[in-house]
Each structure stands twice: as C-alpha cells, then as structure tokens.
C-alpha cells in the first residue's frame, strides 16, 4: 500500500500542476475573446482563427481540468441518499462508482479518441473554415484529458481504499483553512453548527 500511496502522490502532483496551468488558459481565452470583439467592432475585421483558438482553449480548460476537479472533490455528484450515510459507506460507493463507471468510461474514451487524433495529425487536417486552424491539437485534448482523468481516478481509488484500511485520513475531508475556521466559528456562535 505504501508504494501505491506514493504513486497516488505522484499522480496528484501531476494533476495539480496541469490544473493550475489550465487556470491560465482561462485568462488567455478571455483576453483573446475581448481582443477579437474589440477588433471586430472597432475595425470591422474578424478572423476564424481567433474564434477557433477560443474554442480550443475552452476545450483545453474543460478537458485538462477534469482530473483537477476530481482531485479537489469539486466534481458534480448527487448526494440525495449517500449524504445520509456514514463516511465509510460513502467511500465504498465512491470506490464502486470509480471502478464500474469512471475508469471504464475514461479508458474507453481514450481508446476511441486516440485513432481520431492520430488520423488528424497524420493527415494535417485543417478546419473547413476560411483561415481555420489545424485540428490535431484540439483532437489531442480529448485523449489527453481523459487519460489525466483516468489517472486521477486511479489515484482517488488508491486513497479511498487506504482510508478504508485505516492507513490515511479521509481524503474527501476538505483541508482546514483560515476561511473554513472562520465560517465554523461564525456558525458555532450562531448555534447553526
């Protein structure tokens, strides 16, 4: 289990680095979008390449940040029933969902999207729009993003099993931050806790 937890730590570090890098793509996307709008309305000039790069960057943010969202427990979930269960029961449900749904889906999408990327790259596929961009970088984002999601899913699986075995604290427990302490103190003083 020690070696698996070390592997999980390496995957977490990779996910953290990619996720933090993807944050900057949001700023780049906003700047390109704003610049494109200014140029279009001020100078009556537009470029399909500028529009397409915005789509590429949005896709990059979404696909490259999926594992980051999973690592930080910020992914979408429906806790109607599971929220009433013990933390150990919730962890078992998360393990079940990861093994039966998340990992097979992510691996299948990587497997199916890889040949599409390779074909696009080998053929030098270009957008059908005038002055459009090459498509292979956008097509590469799909297998890359889902591979990162699968890796993070494996890391989360390792951590959840280690938690059930009593080797580590609950990985879903948010870290204690000054903000969380302040909210807890306010709720406690109001009697809402």
> For position 192, what pLDDT does the model report?
61
Work out the number of other CB atoms within 10 angstroms of the CB of residue 191.
6
pLDDT tens-place string over residues 68-119: 999 988 877 767 777 787 888 888 989 999 999 999 999 999 999 999 999 9
- Give the domain extent around 65: 2-169
> For position 78, what pLDDT does the model report?
67
Domain count, the chain: 1
> For position 64, what pLDDT does the model report?
95
DSSP state of 84: G
- What is d(CA 131, CA 47) in angstroms, rounded to the nearest whole number? 7
Cα–Cα separations (whole angstroms), residue 170 to 40, 112, 174? 52, 34, 9
> For position 19, what pLDDT does the model report?
94
Residue 177 counted as domain residue: no
Residue 185 counted as domain residue: no
User: The whole model's pTM is what?
Assistant: 0.82
- What is d(CA 125, CA 155) in angstroms, rounded to the nearest whole number? 35
Residue 193 counted as domain residue: no
> For position 187, what pLDDT does the model report?
83
Which uninterrupted H or E stretch holds 95? helix 87-97
Divide the 193 residues of the chain into consecutive groups of 10 and give the mean pLDDT of each group.
Answer: 91 95 93 88 83 90 94 78 80 92 97 96 85 88 97 96 89 76 83 63
What are the helix and strand counts (H, E) for the chain?
7, 0
- What is the longest distance spanned by two Cα atoms in the chain? 65
Can you tell me whether residue 126 is helix, strand or coil?
A: strand
- What is d(CA 114, CA 79) in angstroms, rounded to the nearest whole number? 34
Residue 188 counted as domain residue: no
**Tokens 């599409």 -> residue:** 116
Residue 46 counted as domain residue: yes
> For position 146, what pLDDT does the model report?
97
Residue 187 counted as domain residue: no
Task: Determine the distance from the C-alpha atom of residue 123 to the mean position of all C-alpha atoms in its chain, rounded to a whole number.
Answer: 29
């Amino acid at each position: 289990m020690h070696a698996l937890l070390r592997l999980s730590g390496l995957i977490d570090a990779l996910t953290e680095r990619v996720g933090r890098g993807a944050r900057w793509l949001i700023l780049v996307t906003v700047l390109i979008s704003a610049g494109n709008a200014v140029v279009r309305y001020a100078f009556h000039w537009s470029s399909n390449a500028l529009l397409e790069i915005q789509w590429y960057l949005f896709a990059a943010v979404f696909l490259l940040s999926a594992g980051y969202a999973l690592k930080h427990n910020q992914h979408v979930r429906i806790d109607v029933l599971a929220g009433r269960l013990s933390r150990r029961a919730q962890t078992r449900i998360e393990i079940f969902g990861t093994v039966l749904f998340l990992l097979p889906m992510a691996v299948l999408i990587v497997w199916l999207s890889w040949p599409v990327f390779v074909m696009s790259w080998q053929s030098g596929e270009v957008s059908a729009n005038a002055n459009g961009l090459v498509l292979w970088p956008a097509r590469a984002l799909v297998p890359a993003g889902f591979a990162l999601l699968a890796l993070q899913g494996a890391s989360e699986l390792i951590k959840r099993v280690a938690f059930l075995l009593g080797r580590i604290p609950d990985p879903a427990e948010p870290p204690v931050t000054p903000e969380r302490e302040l909210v807890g103190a306010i709720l406690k003083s109001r009697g809402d806790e």
